[in-house]
Structure 1
């Protein structure tokens, strides 16, 4: 089974669906490239280079799936190994960057990232096994997902160290982009051939590809729409520093008070 992991297996219509997914992710690459090349932005504060991991790695994964690379058969249905590798690399960035926007404590962000990785890995076990182990792994994956949502929706706001209106607005959009949209993934898994077989393999491929593109490409575009907040923070810090400096100079230049 695992020996077939890198064997090409182009699946006709499935391959066309994954090709569309590849093109969709490349749009995200263009958006992040635009961010990185804008000299007017504070790319260091925005950490835009980390965002490139999301669409770039996803595009590579979808290109692999388009070529049939990373596909192997389990219990009579095909599993896209490249997809799970994609999720294991890109989804922690989605979760972590939302925390970066409002400067959430590092320990909380790492906890959310760890829960995300647990969700993906146990989801992979659920997809590639059968019987009690499958449903046990699905239960663990679902529990990790629910706890991660708690961290995103409750702990992130509580542990945020930067809560300017601009950053809070961006954070809410990114968090909802991740948390709300991802609620459909367990439903798709249960309906797929791996679960109760209510949706065909092709239907599952179409749904998951659409969900992936909808979760990742708009995410980078939302950051692009709010790109100025990092520059504004830098300018505000500079203005405060200058104002403090002027105040100090004014104090030094003012004549000393006398008894008269």
Structure 2
């Protein structure tokens, strides 16, 4: 039998010379293969929470609107503002519950190693930007409620509202900030400074102006403003744990914010409107335009003068 040396060489090469593709690892060294992408998305608990809060905001809006129908137009200012707050929140939660108002923030985390090249971990976290749109509209209205209750002047009211908008927008910028740079926490620091400006206007100026309206109004303002500030202080804490350091899951973030939103909007609104109905000192005189429109502004109305 004739042996073909080419066949022998092929068999020897295939059996002994070609290395196997079985991956190996050395203890103490990071794996050579890239790390899988870590996806931090909303789960079933988060989705259910979004729908529940949407329903609660709709119910609160309907309740506040019904309460406004029981009082004259001249006394509906707080009702109108508070109803708008919960309507905007309901729209925001509907958007988030249906999968809109969200974006994916890609984060690349670098791991430094001593004896081998650095490795990286890619994280994709879901950020609900609809929440920031909600806050940028509703928190100024909440401040407007408190400012009118205290009797703040226009200058202090405007500064508090501007600081509030800055706080929300810089919080949004921080949520999409780059990892490992001063950018992310720089925006967060600006947001915290803006929040301190809001606190200063409410605690110092608001409290002083509320005392002018009487002890009852002052006591109520201190109670409801203090409640609001405690709730609002929890927001940046949750942000730091969730979007900031990503130590909280997206579902946990949604549930935490949901509890705070319920306290800051429906609970706040119900407390304000029920107390306002029992405390005439909290009424705000907006003149004839609010009740009668421009066409009758300045006209003599029944009850305006003694001789009417």
TM-score tier (shorter): 0.7 to 0.9
Aligned-partner Cα distance in 1 for 2:43–2:95: 12
The size of the alignment, in residue pairs, is 228
Change (3 A) 1:50 1:202: same
The residue aligned with 2:265 is 216
- Bigger shift: 182-191 or 224-233? 224-233
The residue aligned with 1:254 is none
Matched, 1:81 2:129: yes
Matched, 1:67 2:98: yes
Aligned-partner Cα distance in 1 for 2:217–2:56: 27
Aligned-partner Cα distance in 2 for 1:20–1:220: 18
Q: Secondary structure at the match of 2:63?
A: helix
The residue aligned with 2:221 is 171
- Bigger shift: 166-175 or 14-23? 166-175
Aligned-partner Cα distance in 2 for 1:38–1:232: 18
The residue aligned with 1:191 is 241
- Structure number with the bigger relative contact order (C-alpha 8 A, sep ≥ 6) is 1
What is the deviation of 1:30? Answer: 2.6
The residue aligned with 1:180 is 230
Matched, 1:109 2:149: no
Matched, 1:57 2:57: no
Matched, 1:121 2:153: no
CA contact (8 A) 1:42 1:230 kept: no
Aligned-partner Cα distance in 1 for 2:66–2:276: 11
CA contact (8 A) 1:170 1:223 kept: no
CA contact (8 A) 1:96 1:110 kept: no
Matches within 5 A, 1:1-260: 11-39=43-71, 42-44=74-76, 46-75=77-106, 76-130=124-178, 131-160=181-210, 162-192=212-242, 194-229=243-278, 231=280
TM-score (normalised: structure 2): 0.68
Aligned-partner Cα distance in 2 for 1:162–1:102: 9
Larger % of helix: which?
1
What is the deviation of 1:210? Answer: 1.1
Aligned-partner Cα distance in 1 for 2:282–2:194: 35
Deviations, residues 76-122 of structure 1 (Å, cap 9, x unaligned): 11111110000000000111110101221111011111111010000
Aligned-partner Cα distance in 2 for 1:156–1:64: 35
- Bigger shift: 118-127 or 34-43? 34-43
Aligned-partner Cα distance in 1 for 2:263–2:281: 29
Unaligned 5+ residue runs, structure 1?
Answer: 1-8, 235-241, 246-260
Q: Secondary structure at the match of 2:244?
A: coil
Q: Secondary structure at the match of 1:78?
A: strand
TM-score (normalised: structure 1): 0.80
Unaligned 5+ residue runs, structure 2?
Answer: 1-40, 107-123, 284-302
What is the deviation of 1:145? Answer: 0.8
